[in-house]
Amino acid sequence: MFVNVILLSCCLSLISAEYCLGSEEESLLNDIKSALQTLETRLKDKSLRCSPGWKEYAHHCYNFISTPLTWNAAERACRKIGGYLVKVDDESESNWLKQQANVEERSYWAGAADFTEGDWRWIVDFSNVTYTDWHNGQPNNSGGHEDCLEIKKTYNYQWNDAVCTATNGYICESEKVNLKVTNCN
- Tell me the per-residue pLDDT of 115-152, one tens digit each, with 9 for 90 and over: 999 999 999 999 999 999 999 999 999 999 999 999 99
| Higher-pLDDT residue of 43, 8 | 43
CA–CA dist 79, 184 (Å, integer): 32
The larger pLDDT score, comparing residue 25 to residue 154, is at 154
Q: What sign does the dihedral 117-119-122-127 (CA atoms) show?
A: negative
CB 143, CB 126: distance < 8 Å: no
166-176: string of b/e by CB count within 10 Å (b at 16+)?
A: eebbbbbbbeb
> pLDDT for 6-24, tens place per residue?
544 555 555 555 556 677 7
Average pLDDT over residues 85-94: 98
Q: DSSP H helical segments within the chain, as ranges? A: 2-18, 23-46, 71-80, 91-104
Averaged pLDDT for residues 40-56: 78
Tell me the average pLDDT of the chain: 86
The reported pTM is 0.73
**C-alpha closest to that of 152 among 110, 90, 93, 89:** 110
Categorize the per-residue pLDDT at 183 as very low, low, confident or very high, splitting at 50, 70 and 90: low
Fold of the domain spanning 55-175: Mannose-Binding Protein A; Chain A (3.10.100)
DSSP state of 110: E
Per-residue confidence (pLDDT) for residue 13, from 0 to 100: 56
- Residue 8, number of CB atoms within 10 A of its CB: 14
Virtual torsion, Cα 82, 87, 93, 97, nearest 10 deg: 70
**Amino acid in the structure at residue 54:** W
